[in-house]
Amino acid sequence: MEEYNPWWVGEEDPVYGDWRVSPVRWVPSVLRLFETKPYSLNFIVGPRQVGKTTAVKIYIHEILLRRMDPKAIFYYPCDELSDYKELGEVLDDYLSARKAWGIRSSYIFLDEITFVEEWWRALKSRIDRGAFKNDVIYVMGSASIELLRRKEMFPGRRGLGRDICFLPMDFSEYAEKFGNLTLKRGTLSDFENAMSANKLFSTRLTQLFQMFLKTGGFPVPIREYFERGKISALSIKTYLDWIRNDWARAGKSDKYMKEILTYILRARLSPISWLGITKETSINSPNTARSYVETLEDLFIVKVLNIISPDGRVLYRKNKKIHITDPFLYHVLSQYTGVRVLEEHIVESTVAAHVSRTHDTYYWRNGTEIDVVAVVNGEQLGIEVKWGPKRWRKPRHLKHLILLDEENIPLFLASISWTKE
């Protein structure tokens, strides 16, 4: 147990050590959401290889170890445990040890917990008998879809706990970290002042956005690009292997998934239907097509936008716009499917994915079109993305509209806080 908690004996964790000496490193802004109080049961979810484990090690070394007894911090990777009984034994061993050490309150991190069969049973029984009444517990794993399903097993048992969605770095944070900029940030309902203040950095933001369209917000391609000037084929293959493993664990056929992703990329952000997918793939059922796309959304690979009517009704039966959530994932999936992707579509998806982090997000099309419609303070805000030549006509029903072009897209994305509290 102590091998996973080297701080108990005054040593540095190797993951944190690698991060500390890396020439390209940053402290994820999402760490501020880790600050919860006892008792709390927290779920950390997010896509593969986004840096969840590294973030936890940074949080332990940079924050927790500066204010508490090292033995009150317990981290355990659960990928070698087989079932809830073995997990229960690990937890009991730590609870017994900390009692002997005179520790009454702990921070407990359980990583890769979805490898453990019926893992929730080990936690639930000990929560019910008050074993963790003074503790802060973080449960996380690469299979976020499984974690999200199991939240329902803890009704009334989460205390002050929260769901922490750990997404790839957004462009605003990216620009600050790698452009050495101090940016003013607003919200979708109040961003004009921030854009005016940040306009001074427009040229630099445009340069950084071109980099962001290559690396996205994932740690490995970011480090490779800033260290070597390019992203290796090995990194792309590694990410592809991770996400293929995830949808296989979700019971999805690799053949069907490749066909669906090929169809999505070839659609080039035109609205599509579940029936349309079946006509262009070997999948026979629209319900099966829907379940595959829903799995991609649960894995944070795509974001599905429904159409919203002028009166605010969401038309779930109408065609959907399906966006890839990160520029780097576009490149990964392009290599996987063999479909060439256009920069203008990566840009529109980047805007849509950013907006969806903080607001319910839709689109509109009926004679006129709006790429993204966000519901802000109960009203519809239209966002139209023009990257290159594009004909467009404003819908009459939208009172609030943002028109983005090549010049102001980087400035807009850099001037808003995209972390949902």
Domain interval for residue 289: 171-414
DSSP 8-class letter at 145? H
Determine contact, residues 340/227, Cβ cutoff 8 Å: no
Q: Is residue 332 part of a domain?
A: yes
Question: Rounded to a whole number, what is the largest CA-CA distance in the chain?
Answer: 71
Q: Exposure of 6 by Cβ count < 10 A (0-12 exposed, 13-18 middle, 19+ buried)?
A: middle
Statement to judge: residues 246 and 377 lie in one domain: yes
Domain assignment present for residue 292? The answer is yes
User: Domain ends where: 165, 189, 204?
Assistant: 165
Q: How many structural domains comprise the chain?
A: 2
**Cα–Cα distance measured from residue 69 to residue 102, given in angstroms and rounded to the nearest whole number:** 11
Return the number of other C-beta atoms located less than 10 Å from residue 383's C-beta. Answer: 23
**Residue-by-residue DSSP string for 355-401:** HHHHS-EEEEEESEEEEEEEEETTEEEEEEE--SS------TT-SEE
User: Are the C-beta atoms of residues 419 and 31 closer than 8 Å to each other?
Assistant: no
pLDDT single digits (tens) 327-380: 999 999 999 999 999 999 999 999 999 999 999 999 999 888 899 999 999 999
**CA–CA separation, 67 vs 345, rounded Å?**
47
Q: Residues 25, 101: one domain?
A: yes
State how far Cα 386 lies from the chain centre.
Answer: 25
Predicted TM-score (pTM) of this structure: 0.93
pLDDT at 421: 61
Residues 29 and 101 in one domain: yes
Cα 403 versus chain centre, distance: 26
User: Does 292 share its domain with 316?
Assistant: yes
Q: How far apart are CA 412 and CA 390, in angstroms?
A: 19
Residue with tokens 């317990």: 74
Task: Say if residues 191 and 415 touch (Cβ distance below 8 Å).
Answer: yes
Going through 142-185 in order, the beta strands assigned E by DSSP cover 163-165
Residues 225-239 have pLDDT tens digits of 999 999 999 999 999
Domain final residue, candidates 114, 138, 165: 165
Decide if 229 is inside a domain. Answer: yes
From the list 364, 360, 341, the residue with the least C-alpha distance to 261 is 341
Residue 247 and residue 316 in one domain: yes
The residue among 138, 165, 192 that closes a domain is 165
Residues 217 and 271 in one domain: yes
Ranges in the chain, pLDDT < 70: 143-144, 421
